[in-house]
Structure 1
Amino acid sequence: MPDTPVSPDIITSAEGVGRLAERLGGEPIVACDLEADSMHHYQEKVCLLQFAVPGYAAIVDPLATPDLAPLAPLFADGSRRKVFHGADYDIRSLHRDFGIEVNNLFDTMIACQYLGEREFGLAAALRKRFGVELDKQYQRADWSRRPLSAGMIEYAVKDTTLLIDLYRQLEGELRERGRLPWVEEECVLLTGVRMTQRGDDPLFLRFKGASRLDRRTLAVLEEVLRFRDRRARQADVPPFKILGTDTVRELAEKRPRSAAELVGITGITEKVAARHGEGILRSVEKGMTVPERNLPVFPREERRRLSGPEEQRLKALKGWREEEAARLGIDMGYLANNALLEQLAVAAPRSVGELAASGSLREWQMREFGPGILAALAPRR
């Protein structure tokens, strides 16, 4: 197993951040990770940033020193590779909290997926390749609490100190199989993701299953969600800690009108009823009094019905994808998702030029699978 640093630098000052930026600025590859408090606070925030290079590890505490501007050039530098595992949330969070943009990203989770790994979480990858176990008790820890325990520091360090070794293994395997350009292109696209703002849209638009509810139930659901959101903001906790998803759904569907009718609803314990019962009942009543003409409507995109020939082309493309995915040993969704196949079935390109002009495919998909896609789309006689 590769050697790992035992004691990381814990950086809690602007001067320390500046020194770290200089220290990492000379490294061609830097392993990165972060920890946030989304499970514990209403407005989530980055609470730790971890870095590792061979023989050195550091943890930056942005709660103690929130100005991370000296690190921005490192993240933006396209000549230095930044290695993350499961970078989607990290990329969004770094931009939201610090305005940091990441270039030359390598996501080891994406690499695992394109190598056909069935378990591609970091814990599974480290266990398989290095025999290292991550302590899962810290996955849901409140990283905003101070001081950090020794166990939390050890967990945070392990998240990065083996990432470069993992990256080197995965990069070599991808290169051997000719799939390194696939992952690199996916990583370039990933660097552009950003957090979406809540805005003034109805809360029910982000509630799973809301599209199946009738308009009156949607009105009640919206009022219960607004109540939950207000209480969560006041208590500085995530909304699910006020009322869980199943509880909210049941309240919207059963529409209790009295304290007695709250009894038996999922998640409504005596404590919850005492603390939130009155507010819940008011929100239900408010939803019930919305005039019929003002009831909300869940927006639906009219899905174009495929014609007979389009359905046949889609079936042929799915058959091609299934065969290719089996041959390559990867999940079909990574090869080409259903939305892409449907677009191609409708566009029905007949040549490489038409396929490229459709703008649907990644460059690696076009290069590796363009001929196979065209063959699958070719008219059958």
Structure 2
Amino acid sequence: MSNPLYRPRGGAVSLIDNLPDYRQCLRDYTNPGDFVAFDTERACGIHYLDRAYLVQAKAERSPLVLLDPIALGDLSDFGARCQGSTWVLHAAKEDLECMDWVGLHPPRLFDTQIAAKLLGFEQVGLGAVTEDVLGVRLAKNHTRENWSRRPLKQSWLDYAALDVDYLVDLALALRSRLEDAGRWEWACQEFAFALAHFRRPHDSEPWRHLKGAGRARSGFQLGVLRELFVQRDRLAREADLAPVGVLPNRDLVDLALNVPRSYQDLAQRPFMANRQLRRYSRRWWQAIKQVRALDSAQLPLRSGPRELHTVTSVSAWEKIDSRRAELYRLLRADVSCWANKNQVWAEYALSPAACRRVAAYWDSRTDLELLFSEGQARRWQVAVFLPRFERICRLWDQG
């Protein structure tokens, strides 16, 4: 096994956090080439917004740069210099939204993790794929740092620089493997889909989707759940803290399911032993009192019956429609079998959402291709699975 690298090939790179250096960076990126590698470092679980506190980039024809979006603000000028290039990221979904906030909008995407999954790699983290393909071992010793801190240590900057130092080389090598395997067109469709769907859909009632929230039965419990969620979000925004740092999800849901009868009862809850969480206790009690004062018409209702294709639990399908549950299992098993045989990760062979659409709504008169489309299946997936699913569905119907 090769020794891990702790510094990029060109040596230590300084942080660009002032306008003169940024202007020079823009000049360096006048003609970056066909590919530009990007990555970001965030402070996950610390601040309210999952924003980028460092942006790394390296192009085929331009040097590796580390940009400070806190000091520089909008980076759209830099993004404009790279609009003629394909942007290479690893696990792009983790970075695209926070890049969008600072003005970085990829014209085209190459996601090296998606490529690795389409090629059947067992380990698809950046370090594992880079070592497997290029024989280069990247040190991973600063994965959980608070990147919002300033100044950033040089060892942190070296670690961050390594995440893009070999990324273009990795993309070119993976493209060659995809072409040899006849999967390059698959990859292009997956990259385009990832780029078009990275934004989180709007959720008007996010409190309903907390783990365990489905056990809230009464309007009062649902009202407490909603009010605690709203108050927590307000406090987190004001303090620029991750909501779970104000009140963990499991404790919020527990308060709604087992509502304290008094402030003294609230004070006995296990999370109150944590001083950081205890400081908001009065706000939680006030929220509960506000809900107690509401009349029944002001309390939220339980969710109505869900469309079958939106139910993710197979056991729930069994209770709703056991026959359709059987079809769902047959389709998922076929996808898994094909994925194993062809060494593709099952999630990229065909999504569970597409399988659910077909299982929920297929009948002998249904346009199966339309169901695939509604499940957001890509063209290559439709070509592979439409005839297979047609056969499975007709056999299921006859049985």
Smaller-chain TM-score range? Answer: 0.7 to 0.9
> TM-score, normalization: structure 2?
0.82
Partner secondary structure for residue 48 of structure 1:
strand
Which letter maps to 2:228? V
> Which amino acid letter does the alignment assign opposite residue 346 of structure 2?
M
Aligned to 2:18: 13
- Mark the CA change 1:341 to 1:220 in structure 2 (over 3 Å): closer, same or farther: same
* TM-score, scaled relative to structure 1: 0.85
CA distance in 2, matches of 1:123, 1:217: 45
Cα 1:10–1:49 change in 2 (3 A) is same
2:381 maps to which residue? 365
Match of 1:106 in 2: 110
Please say which of residues 35-44 and 369-378 is displaced more in the overlay: 369-378
**In the alignment, which of 355, 366, 370 is matched to residue 341 of structure 1?**
355
Q: CA distance change for structure 1 residues 262 and 302 in 2, over 3 Å: closer, same or farther?
A: closer
Superposed, which structure 2 residues align to 1:167-182 within 5 Å? 167-182=171-186
2:314 alignment partner in structure 1:
none
User: What CA distance in whole angstroms lies between the structure 2 residues aligned with 1:184 and 1:276?
Assistant: 49
Give the whole-Å Cα distance in 2 for the aligned partners of 1:350 and 1:197: 32
1:321: how far off? 1.9
Cα distance, 1:102 vs. partner?
1.0
Pairing 1:40–2:11 present: no
Q: Unpaired runs of 5+ in structure 1? A: none
Contact kept in structure 1, 2:260 and 2:266, CA below 8 Å? yes
CA distances 1:3-28 after superposition (whole Å, capped 9, x unpaired): 72222253223444344344333321
**Cα RMSD (Å) of the superposition?**
3.1
Q: Could you say which residue in structure 1 is the equivalent of 2:88? A: 83
* CA distances 1:245-268 after superposition (whole Å, capped 9, x unpaired): 222122222222334313442321
Q: CA deviation at 1:319?
A: 4.0
Q: Residue 109 of structure 2 contacts residue 195 of structure 2 at CA under 8 Å; is this kept in 1?
A: yes
Summarize deviations over 1:110-160 as a string: whole Å, max 9, x none.
Answer: 111112223212233235443524334x33322222111112101110111
Pair 1:211 & 2:214 matched: yes
**Identity over the aligned pairs, expressed in percent?**
23
**2 CA distance for matches of 1:308 and 1:341?**
16
Alpha-carbon contact 2:272-2:278 (below 8 Å) kept: no
Shift of 1:342: 3.4
Structure 2 residue 240 is the aligned partner of structure 1 residue 233: no
In the alignment of these two chains, the number of paired residues is: 374
Q: Distance in 2 between matches of 1:315 and 1:203?
A: 29
CA deviation profile, 1:73-99 (whole Å, cap 9, x unmatched): 24433xx2211001113222222332x
1:1-381 counterparts in 2 under 5 A? 4-24=9-29, 25-53=31-59, 56-77=63-84, 80-98=85-103, 100-129=104-133, 130-136=135-141, 138-196=142-200, 201-214=204-217, 215-269=219-273, 271-272=275-276, 275-304=279-308, 314-345=328-359, 346-348=361-363, 355-356=368-369, 358=371, 359-360=373-374, 361-379=377-395
Over 3 Å counting, the alpha-carbon distance change for 1:159 and 1:58 in structure 2 is same
Match of 2:57, as an amino acid?
F
Residues in 1 aligned to 2:322 and 2:248: alpha-carbon distance in whole angstroms? 44
